[in-house]
Chains A and B, each alone.
Chain A
Amino acid sequence: MAIKLGVSLYSLQEDYYLGKLDLEGCIERVSNEVGADGIEFLPDQMPLPGWPELSKEAVDLWFSWMEKYNTVPTSYGAVFFDTMYKNRMLTVKEVVDLTIEDLKRAARLGFKVYRTGIIRKEHLEILERCLPVAEELGIQIATEIHAPRGIHTWWTQEWLEVIQRTGTKAGGFVPDMGIFSVSLPVPFVKRLLREGANEAIIARIEEAYRAKEPLSEEDVRGMGGNEKDLQALSSINRLVYDDPEWLREVLPYTKHIHGKFYEMTEDYQESSIDYANAIRVLLDAGWDGYISSEYEGQRHYFDIGCDTYMDPVEQCRRHHVMIKNLIAKLSGR
């Protein structure tokens, strides 16, 4: 199977945050309970001992876990520190220096994809200046294609232009499946309803979004919408539904995909994101790489007074079943 499955440890954040799991425990769950081998790691979320220094002992520990749990490092999720100081942004050179050190850490831990992003224009120059080091290290600098920024926006197109102009082998993308959103995240709607939104108004906001005829604030107020309904509207305006066919434009530079999802039902459905058409394009293109489950629904249960806990391991397991089912169905197996 050209499509391989992994998990971003981001998915297990709640258990780590509360001290129920440590980094090794997260890797163990992915391997033994989700049954996947690809590990996506955010070092600033679940740091190795001594971080951000990376000692030989820490590297050995990391690889001992990979061996023990029969897992492989896939994508290294970098965090931005441009806003380190209150009185100014870091300069281009400062961020280049930090990124080069970070690329070296990622490569020492065995990662082939360095997931970063383009937020401000300067990042294009910053990442281009890091490309020669990435080439030497054998790691790909991959910018995430993430809502509210889709494939046909400058954030993606201008990085594509850099990759093609330089002919680099070390530049690419991590598309996030959230760019194929067909509705608000299901758990987010549940939260809005807990907080007083109107179910019928949210349904109309979502219908209008899917019809690509988005409602205005006046429309929602005219329906008797309250502040929570307006929050639904402003949130849906930041969602993206790109034509899944557009994926083909970036797949030649894509080794890793974020399998964003918000909530898997017991019968393996994620109704907020158009997985079927995205997987169809991946199969048709013969794409080879990891889809890394990125469960992000937990945060919609973090409001004070809400006692819902979603088991992220079970959520990721269901997510993998969904993808395997789609692959089997779409490839006629």
Chain B
Amino acid sequence: MNEKYLICEEGLRNVVQDGKKVGWEFWLRIPYYAGVPLSMIDHLKVTIDGEAVPEEAIRFNTSCGEVFTLQELETVTTYRWEYGEKARITVLQDDGLAPGRHKLEVDVALRIIYMPKGNSSYAWAEFDVE
């Protein structure tokens, strides 16, 4: 659902800490028509330049500044991913992304009761990274 809007126009950026690239990030809208508690995220798979990102490297940043691994998200019922919210998704990766063009792919699904087969949504985009 909402494929062309899932990956936000902010693109891909390296995350720099203490002068060192420690990962990269992008912004993602919800693949649904409403907001849900974060525990209802069923999966979030990220691929960069054709390589699957290890699940444990992915962080979901809430709008109130909390940071969760995907496994931790399973129990987060008090914070929500709101409809239209651009959630910042961080991928921990030493040295970040090399300058140049990169292809980002995302497969994201929520657990929605009337979609028993899942509502997995796939989106991709290419961005230049400085």
Contacts and interface: CB of A to CB of B under 8 A. Distances in A.
Interface of A: 10, 13, 16-19, 42, 44-47, 79-87, 117, 119-120, 299, 302-306
Contacts of B5: 17-18, 302
Contacts of A117: 114
A45 B35 contact: yes
Interface string B55-90: 000000000000000000011010000111000000
Interface string B37-60: 101101000000000000000000
Interface extent on B, as a size class?
20 to 34
Given A82-B113, A117-B114, A17 B39 contact: no
Contacts of A13: 33, 83
B120 to A, nearest CB: 14
Contacts of A47: 35, 82
Interface of B: 1-5, 29, 33-37, 39-40, 42, 74-75, 77, 82-84, 111-114, 123-124
16 contacts: A10-B33, A16-B83, A16-B84, A17-B5, A17-B83, A83-B111, A84-B37, A85-B39, A85-B75, A86-B39, A86-B74, A117-B114, A119-B114, A302-B4, A304-B4, A306-B4
Contact of B114 (A17, A80, A85, A305): A80
Main secondary structure of the interface of B (DSSP, over half): loop
Contacts of B36: 44, 79, 81
A304 B97 CA distance: 24
A17 B29 contact: yes
Chain A binding surface SS class = loop
A82 B74 CA distance: 14
Contacts of A44: 34-36, 83
B124 A45 contact: no
Given A17-B29, A42-B34, A44-B36, 5 more contacts: A46-B83, A47-B35, A47-B82, A299-B1, A306-B4
B83 A45 contact: yes
Contacts of A120: 113
Contacts of A303: 3-4
Contacts of A42: 33-34
A305 B125 CA distance: 10
The 10 closest A-B CB pairs, nearest first, are A83-B111, A44-B34, A45-B34, A17-B84, A80-B113, A304-B4, A86-B74, A45-B83, A82-B113, A119-B114
Given A86-B74, A306-B4, A18 B84 contact: yes
B114 to A, nearest CB: 5
A19 B8 CA distance: 12
A81 B35 contact: no
A117 B114 CA distance: 10
Contacts of A84: 37, 39-40, 77
A174 to B, nearest CB: 15
Given A304-B3, A305-B4, A83 B74 contact: no
A117 B115 CA distance: 13
A79 B1 CA distance: 17
B32 to A, nearest CB: 9
B82 A86 contact: no
A239 B66 CA distance: 42
Contacts of B114: 80, 117, 119
Nearest to A306: B4
Q: Which of B2, B36, B75, B84 has the most CB of A within 10 A?
A: B84
B14 to A, nearest CB: 25
A85 B74 contact: yes
Contacts of B123: 304
A86 B44 CA distance: 14
Contacts of A304: 3-4, 123-124
Nearest to A307: B4
A141 B123 CA distance: 37
Nearest to A13: B33
